[in-house]
């Protein structure tokens, strides 16, 4: 007799207030803080994976059109994403800063160290965790959590799984279904504390 698989527990996502605190954690007055702030925003606002942030090249940014191309993401799929106006401005400011201090590497990466070397995945994981602690967030904060925030927010806004699948770069729509569960879980949690006030 086949046994039923246990459903996986749903991951946490950050509230809007927690995201605001997280985005304020890097010191944007210094180049690394400006860079880290933008990387946090791209993971949360566009759902970029760590590998996609690291691999992002200058040729992938169409700043005048407000577009960003993810080349050969997971599953070897390209996808085109659109900046929100705030992130578009942050990217323009960061590229100016980057040109001022970092040497162009052979891959012309958007994000690099102060001496122009590629960033490592473990640095991004550490940076996100450190910013979460600095922001005083009492949840485990990690890069893929920000991607979950993006997927849930996009599904909540569009209610269209195909749109979310394509924006996330999923190969199989079954992977995208977790965002339906997360959005429904949010509704359930909101209803727990909801009551209609009766007239006296």
Catalytic residue numbers, as ranges? 49, 74, 144, 147, 170, 179
CA distances from 174 to 8, 72, 94 (A): 14, 20, 36
The tokens of 54 are what? 């690291």
Compute the radius of gyration of the chain from its Cα atoms.
19
| Residue closest to 146 by CA, chosen among 70, 56, 53 | 53
The neighbour count for residue 192, using CB atoms within 10 Å, is 7
């Amino acid at each position: 007799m086949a046994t039923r698989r246990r459903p996986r527990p749903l991951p946490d996502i950050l509230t809007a207030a927690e995201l605001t605190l997280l985005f304020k954690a890097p010191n944007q007055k210094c180049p690394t803080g400006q860079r880290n702030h933008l990387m946090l925003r791209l993971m949360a606002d566009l759902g970029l994976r760590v590998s996609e942030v690291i691999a992002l090249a200058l040729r992938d940014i169409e700043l005048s059109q407000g577009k960003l191309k993810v080349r050969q993401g997971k599953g070897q799929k390209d996808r085109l994403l659109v900046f929100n106006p705030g992130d578009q401005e942050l990217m323009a400011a960061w590229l100016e800063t980057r040109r001022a201090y970092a040497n162009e590497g052979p891959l012309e990466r958007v994000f690099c160290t102060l001496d122009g070397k590629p960033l490592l995945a473990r640095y991004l994981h550490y940076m996100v965790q450190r910013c979460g602690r600095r922001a005083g967030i009492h949840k485990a904060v990690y890069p893929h959590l920000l991607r979950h925030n993006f997927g849930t927010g996009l599904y909540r806004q569009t209610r269209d799984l195909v749109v979310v699948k394509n924006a996330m770069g999923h190969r199989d729509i079954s992977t995208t279904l977790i965002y339906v569960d997360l959005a429904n879980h949010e509704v359930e949690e909101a209803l727990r504390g909801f009551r209609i006030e009766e007239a006296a």
